[in-house]
Amino acid sequence: MLSYIIRRILLMIPTMLAISFLIFFIIELPAGDYITNQIAALRASGETASIAKLEFLRAEFALDRPFFERYLIWLGCWPGPNGFDGLIQGNWGWSFEFDRPVSEVVGPTLPLTIVLNFATILFVYIVSFPIGMYSATRQYSWGDYGFTFLGYIGLATPNFLLGLILLYLFNRWFGLSVGGLMAPEYIDQPWSVDKALSVLAHLIVPTIVIGTAGTAAMIRRLRANLLDELHKQYVTTGRAKGLTEGRLLYKYPLRMALNPFIADIGNLIPSLVSGSVIVSVVLNLPTVGPVLLSSLQSQDQFLAGFILLFVAVLTLIGMLVSDLLLAVLDPRIRLGGRATR
Amino acid sequence: MNVLSVEELSVDFHTAEGRSRAVDRVSFAVPENRTVALVGESGSGKTVISQTIMGLLPPVAEISSGKVVLSDPSGEIEPVDIATLDRKGAKMRHLRGNRVAIIFQEPMTSLSPLHTIGDQIGEAAELHRGVGRAEARELTREMLRLVRFPDPQRGLDAYPFELSGGLRQRAMIAMAMICHPALLIADEPTTALDVTIQAEILKLIKDVQSELRMSVLMITHDFGVVANMADEVVVIYHGRIMERGTAEQLFSNPQHDYLKALLNAVPSFDMDRSERLVPIRPITVKAEDLKKSRPDCRVAPGEPLVQVKDVTKRFTLRKGGLLGARTATMTALDQVNLTIRRGECLGVVGESGSGKTTVAKTILRALDINEGEILYNKGEGLSDVSHLRGDALMDYRRRVQLIFQDPFSSLNPRMTVNDILTEPLEIHGIGTAEERAERARSLMSLVGLDARYLRRYPHSFSGGQRQRIGIARALALNPEFILCDEPTSALDVSVQAQILNLLQDLKRDLGLTYLFVSHNLAVVDYIADRIVVMCRGRVVEVGETREVVSNPLHPYTRALLSAVPEPDLNEKLDFAALDAGRASEPGDWPEPFRLGDGTVPHLIEMKPDHFVCAPGLYGRHAQEGTAA
C-alpha cells in the first residue's frame, strides 16, 4: 500500500510537467503578449516616450526569448535575466495588469477559494445523499417525483439569477450585507472570531448557488446508481439473511453506489472553480475565478498561467485523494493483483 | 413430521398488463430430514414458490390464497403460516436466514464484492443467534470447516473475487447453514458450476444435511441432479403441479405426459447413436429455399477442413505500469492440435478455464495467437488464416460463423429481427434489398419461426426462440463451418433438445461442419461425432465420441465422466470416489499423464484413432500422433 502511494505521488510529477507545458502553450497561442499589445497601442496613439520602458520590461521578463526558453524560464529550469528564478524557486511571476507580483494578487484569494470550494463540495454531498437514497428506495413515490421536479428546477435555473434572488432575500431577512465573502467592515482587517463568523454567514449564499446544479445532478446519478444496485443478487442474499431494510441498504448497495462519487472528487474541483466564475463576478466574491477571467482577457500570461496551474494541482490532489479512498473502500482495487484465477 | 407444508398456494402478479397467476393452487410438503425436488422449466413458477417461502416476493406479487406452514422440528419456534406474515415485518425477518435459508444459482453475483466472506457469513449469526462479533467469527470458521474450505482461517478474510466459483458456492452454503435452519431452499445451486464442482457441491449439501438433520427443497431443471439428490419429486408446469411422488415412482413409472416428455428430452449416455431426443415442441426444418442458393463446399466429406497446429495463446493478466513493470501471463492454450473434418461435429469439452472457448475464438480470428498456425481449406488445400487481410478475411468471415452461448445478450435489443438477419448480408454487400428481405424470410422458416415475427424486437421472444434467431443469423451468409459456443447451456432441457435437433438437421441438410463447445458431456455425447477433452489449455484426449465416453483413458476424462449426474436412479454418482479438485491439476496426474510446467503435451495414439495426452510415453511409442 505504501509503495502504491509513493508511486502514485511520484507519477504526479511528470503529469504536472505535462500540464504546465500545455497551459503555457495554450496561453501563448494568441499572437503577441501583454507588453507588445501595449506597445502597439502606444504607437498607434503616437506616444513613444514610455515605449523604451516597456521594451526594458520585455527583456526583464524574458518575453523576447524563444518559446521553449520562455517556458523553461517560467518553470525555473533555465537561467533568465535574473538567473534561475521561476515557479520551482517559488517565484510565481509578475502580473502586468495589476503591476504587482502574482503572489500578492492571488495570495489573499486562494484560501477563500479553497474554503468556498470545500464548503460547496460538502454541501453537494450532504444534501444529495439523503435525497438520492430516498428517491431510489421509494422509486415513483410522491417524494421521488417531488425531488425530481426540484432537481430539474435546480438544474435549469441560471446560477447568477438564483444568486441575486438569494442575496436579496438574505439581506431582507437577516440583514446580511450584499456581495463579498465578509461584511465590509472586516475587509483588510486582521482575522478575528467576528470576522470568521462573518465569512461563514456570507458563505451560505454562494455555496447554495454554486452547489445547486451539482447537487441536482448528483441526486439523479445517485438515484440511478442505487437503483441499479438494489436489484442485484447480493441485496437479495442480504435480505434472505434477515437483515432490516435500513441496515441492508447502508451496508451493501450504498457502499457499491459510492464508488463513482469518490472517483468524482478530482473532477469536481476544476468545474467548481471554472463554473463559479460568473457567480463570483455577480456576487462579487474575492475568489480566484474573477481574477482568472480578467487575466485571460488582457493576456496577463503569468497570472493566468499560475491560476490554471493552481487549479491543476488541486485537481491532481483531488484525484490522488479519490484514488486512495477507492483503494481503501474497494478491496477489488486494493487486492486486485492478489486475486488468483 | 413435515417441516414445510404448502397448501393450495396461489400467487398473483399485478403488472401493467393486469393480473397474472404465477402459482396456481399448489400443494406439497417437505418432510423432516428429506430432500424434495421441485422440477420445472423456466417460467413454471418454481422460483416464485421459493420467494414465497422466504418472504422475498416482489411488491407486485400477492399471495391470493393458501397456506405456507413452517414447523420447526427443534421446537425453537411455533408452527407459523408464512403466507399471513408481513414480508418486511420483524417476524418474517426472524425466520429468514434463521429457520429458512436459501442458496442461489449464481455464486458470482450473490455475494457482495466489497465485504469479506467472514463478515457476510457471520452477519447472519450476529442477527439471529445473539452473538458478538468475535463469537460470530468463531462460528463462521466452524461453518467454513464444515463446508470443507481448504483453509478456514484464511477464508474468513478472503473477498469473494479471490475465490473460485465452487468456493463461493461453499461460502453461500456456509452462510445459509450458520443458524442451522430447519429448511434449506437450494435454487438451482449447481447450474452455474462445472460438473466436477457440481458433484462436490451436491455431495456437500448431502453431508451437511445429514449432519444438521435439515430438510432441503431443491429447485432444479436438471433430472441428473434430481435422480441423485431427491427423495420426493414435485413436477411443476405453468404454475400448476403436474405430478408428485417419490423419486422411484416418478423415474420408473412417470404418469403425466409432461413429465414423460421432459424425461425424453434429456440426453443420456445410454442412448443409441441413431436415437433422437424428443423435444416437447419439435421444429421441422425447411431447408429447400436455402439449399438452392448455397455455394458448394469443395472439400470432400471427411477431409480436413480446419486444422489447428501447435497453437499457443497467452494472456497478459496485468499490464506493467510506468514505474512498476511487473507483468503476469497466463497460458490459455498450450500447443493445441486439432483437426476438424468436413461434415463432422467435433465436440470440445472441459471445465471453465480449460481454454475451450479460446480455441473457438482463435479459429474465428477473434483472438490473435502467439504461436502455431490455424489452417483452413477453401477447396484449394489447407492455408494459414492468421495473416488474412481485407477481402480474403471477409471471405473467411463469410465461411466461418459463430453461435453464442447467451441468447439474451447476443442479440441487439434495439434491432428488429429483420435487421439482425439482414445485417450480415449488408456488411458483405450481398443481394438487393428485396433479395435480403426474401432471405430473412426463408431463414426464419428454416429455424421454424414465423416470418411475421420479423418486425419484432428480441425482447418479445423466449430464450429458445432467441437462440433460433441467433442460429438463423449465423446461417445468413451460407457458412461452411459453424462454431457453437455452449449454445444450449442457458436453455431449459426441453428447449435444449429442440435446439440440438435443429442443429443436427441443419448439419444434415446443409452439409455444415460444427465445432461444438460445451461443458455438458451428455450434450456433446449426443451431438458430436468426435470429442476433444481439454484441461488447463491442453488437449488431453481425442477420439470417436462413443470410444472416449465408453472407454476413457485419461484420468481427467474419467473424473469428468464420473461426475456427470445421470437422470437414472440406478446410476447414482459415487460421491465417495470424488477426489476434491485433484483431477483437474495436471501436475498431480499419475505417470505417464503427468504434465509439469513446460512439459510438451504430446498426444499419443493409444487405441486406433484414440489419442491421449501422455508425455511419459512420448518417444517410447512407435505410432505417435501429431495431429489428431
Give the CATH number for residue B354.
3.40.50.300
Q: Which amino acid is at A296?
A: L
- A288 vs B9, higher pLDDT: B9
Mean pLDDT of chain A: 82
pLDDT at B405 over 80: yes
Measured between beta carbons, the chain A residues lying within 8 angstroms of B355 are none
Q: Is B143 on the interface with A (CB under 8 A)?
A: no
- The pLDDT, as a whole number, for residue B362 is 92
- The pLDDT, as a whole number, for residue B321 is 45
Same domain, B295 and B389: yes
pLDDT tens readout for residues A217-255: 888 888 988 998 888 889 999 999 888 888 898 888 888
pLDDT at A336 over 70: no
Burial B285-320 (b: 16+ CB within 10 A, else e): bebeebeeeeeebebeeeebbbbbbbbbbeeeeeee
Name the residue among A10, A242, A251 with its Cβ closest to that of B323. Answer: A10
Confidence of residue B12 (pLDDT cuts 50, 70, 90): very high
- The pLDDT, as a whole number, for residue B311 is 92
Confidence of residue B277 (pLDDT cuts 50, 70, 90): confident
pLDDT tens readout for residues B352-374: 878 888 999 999 998 888 899 99
- A36 vs B487, higher pLDDT: B487
Q: Which of B540, B561, B591 lies at the terminal end of a domain, its last residue?
A: B540
Name the residue among A7, A244, A331 with its Cβ closest to that of B159. Answer: A331
Q: Is B618 on the interface with A (CB under 8 A)?
A: no
Give the chain A residue whose CA is nearest to the CA of B177: A241
B555 lies in some domain: no
- The pLDDT, as a whole number, for residue B289 is 74
Cell numbers representing residue B570 in the block: 440406478
Confidence of residue B582 (pLDDT cuts 50, 70, 90): low
The residue among B112, B121, B151, B351 with the most chain A CBs within 10 A of its CB, best to mutate, is B112
Q: Is B414 on the interface with A (CB under 8 A)?
A: no
Q: Is B101 on the interface with A (CB under 8 A)?
A: yes
Polymer length of chain B: 628
- B476 — phi, psi (to 5°)? -55, -35
Q: How many CB atoms lie within 10 A of CB B414?
A: 8
Q: Which of B540, B561, B593 lies at the terminal end of a domain, its last residue?
A: B540
The residue among B98, B114, B315 with the most chain A CBs within 10 A of its CB, best to mutate, is B114
Find the mean pLDDT for residues B455-474. 90
Measured between beta carbons, the chain A residues lying within 8 angstroms of B314 are none
Q: At a CB cut-off of 8 Å and minimum separation 6, what does B319 contact?
A: B327
- The pLDDT, as a whole number, for residue A275 is 64
Give the chain A residue whose CA is nearest to the CA of B113: A332
Residue with grid cell 502514485, as numbered in its chain: A8
Q: Is B77 on the interface with A (CB under 8 A)?
A: no
Where is average pLDDT lowest: A86-95, B119-128, B545-554?
A: A86-95
Cell numbers representing residue B492 in the block: 431449459
Same domain, B227 and B311: no
B580 lies in some domain: no
B623 lies in some domain: no
Contact criterion met (CB < 8 Å) for B127 and A243: yes
B293 lies in some domain: yes
pLDDT at B140 over 90: yes
pLDDT tens readout for residues B311-334: 999 887 654 444 444 566 788 898
Highest mean pLDDT among A66-80, A182-196, B475-489: B475-489
Contact criterion met (CB < 8 Å) for B159 and A236: no
pLDDT tens readout for residues A11-23: 888 998 999 889 8
Same domain, B227 and B112: yes
Same domain, B302 and B160: no
B277 lies in some domain: no
For A57, the 3-state DSSP assignment is: helix
Measured between beta carbons, the chain A residues lying within 8 angstroms of B115 are 251-252, 255
Same domain, B524 and B462: yes
Q: What would the DSSP string read from start to end of B552-572?
A: --SHHHHHHHHTSPPS-TTS-
Measured between beta carbons, the chain B residues lying within 8 angstroms of A240 are 54, 56, 96-97, 101-102
- The pLDDT, as a whole number, for residue B622 is 47
Q: Which of B540, B573, B592 lies at the terminal end of a domain, its last residue?
A: B540
* Phi and psi based region of residue A306 (left: phi greater than 0; alpha: psi -120 to 50; beta: remaining): alpha
Q: Which long-range contacts (CB under 8 A, 24 or more apart) does B130-134 make?
A: none
pLDDT at A265 over 70: yes
Give the chain B residue whose CA is nearest to the CA of A8: B323
**Integer Cα distance of B473 and B179 in angstroms:** 51
- The pLDDT, as a whole number, for residue A120 is 86
Confidence of residue B100 (pLDDT cuts 50, 70, 90): very high
pLDDT tens readout for residues B13-68: 988 878 888 999 999 999 999 999 999 888 888 889 999 999 989 888 999 999 99
Q: Which amino acid is at B445?
A: S
Same domain, B255 and B302: no
Contact criterion met (CB < 8 Å) for B162 and A245: no
pLDDT at B239 over 50: yes
Same domain, B47 and B168: yes
Q: Which residues form the domain of B210?
A: 2-264
Same domain, B65 and B169: yes
Find the mean pLDDT for residues B594-620. 83
Contact criterion met (CB < 8 Å) for A239 and B324: no
Measured between beta carbons, the chain A residues lying within 8 angstroms of B321 are 7
Name the residue among B96, B162, B172 with its Cβ closest to that of A339. Answer: B162
B100 lies in some domain: yes
- The pLDDT, as a whole number, for residue B70 is 92
Q: What would the DSSP string read from start to end of B481-538?
A: EEEEESTTTTS-HHHHHHHHHHHHHHHHHHT-EEEEEES-HHHHHHH-SEEEEEETTE
Contact criterion met (CB < 8 Å) for B162 and A11: no
**Integer Cα distance of B107 and B119 in angstroms:** 16
Strand pairing category for B215-220 and B35-39: parallel
Polymer length of chain A: 341
Q: Is B107 on the interface with A (CB under 8 A)?
A: no
pLDDT at B621 over 60: no
Give the chain A residue whose CA is nearest to the CA of B181: A241
Portion of chain B with pLDDT greater than 70, in percent = 96
Residue with grid cell 480455441, as numbered in its chain: B359
CA distances from A90 to A12, A102, A105, A313, A319 (A): 19, 11, 15, 15, 24
- B573 min Cα distance to partner chain A (Å): 28
- The pLDDT, as a whole number, for residue B627 is 45
B383 lies in some domain: yes
Where is average pLDDT lowest: A47-61, B72-86, B266-280, B451-465?
A: A47-61
pLDDT at B481 over 90: yes
- The pLDDT, as a whole number, for residue A289 is 81
Same domain, B524 and B440: yes
Measured between beta carbons, the chain B residues lying within 8 angstroms of A242 are 93-98, 124, 127-128
The residue among B102, B110, B117, B183 with the most chain A CBs within 10 A of its CB, best to mutate, is B110
pLDDT tens readout for residues B248-272: 998 888 888 888 888 888 888 878 7
Same domain, B308 and B230: no
- B497 min Cα distance to partner chain A (Å): 29
Same domain, B173 and B33: yes
- The pLDDT, as a whole number, for residue B327 is 62
pLDDT at B83 over 60: yes
- A294 min Cα distance to partner chain B (Å): 39
Cβ contact A240:B97 at 8 Å: yes
Same domain, B394 and B252: no
Number of domains in chain B: 2
Q: At a CB cut-off of 8 Å and minimum separation 6, what does A9 contact?
A: A320
CA distances from A142 to A134, A135, A146, A148, A262 (A): 11, 9, 6, 10, 29
- The pLDDT, as a whole number, for residue B106 is 81
Name the residue among B109, B114, B128 with its Cβ closest to that of A242. Answer: B128
pLDDT at B273 over 60: yes
Highest mean pLDDT among A82-96, B95-109, B472-486: B472-486
Confidence of residue B183 (pLDDT cuts 50, 70, 90): very high
pLDDT at A291 over 50: yes
B593 lies in some domain: no
Mean pLDDT of chain B: 87
ipTM of the complex: 0.77
**Integer Cα distance of A225 and B541 in angstroms:** 48
pLDDT at B184 over 60: yes
